[in-house]
Amino acid sequence: MKNSMLILMVFASAFSVVACNTVQGVGKDIQKGGEAIERVAR
């Protein structure tokens, strides 16, 4: 289970980096990822 979750996270990260073409876009993606983690942590 841990391995499949790790692989999913790696693919999601790679896709998000490829999907945005600018440094600003990467920053927004990282910020949204952090917000999602905060929501889950509550």
In total, how many domains does the chain have? Answer: 1
Range(s) of the domain holding residue 8: 2-41
Determine the pLDDT at residue 13.
Answer: 79
Asked if 29 and 20 touch (Cβ cutoff 8 Å), the reply is yes
Distance CA 15, CA 5 (A): 15
Determine the pLDDT at residue 36.
Answer: 87
Of 37, 24, 22, 23, nearest to 12 by C-alpha is 37
Asked if 20 and 28 touch (Cβ cutoff 8 Å), the reply is yes
Determine the pLDDT at residue 1.
Answer: 62
The pTM of this model reads 0.45
Determine the pLDDT at residue 17.
Answer: 65
Alpha helices in the chain (DSSP H): 2-19, 23-41
pLDDT tens digits along 2-41: 777 778 888 787 776 666 566 677 788 889 888 988 888 8
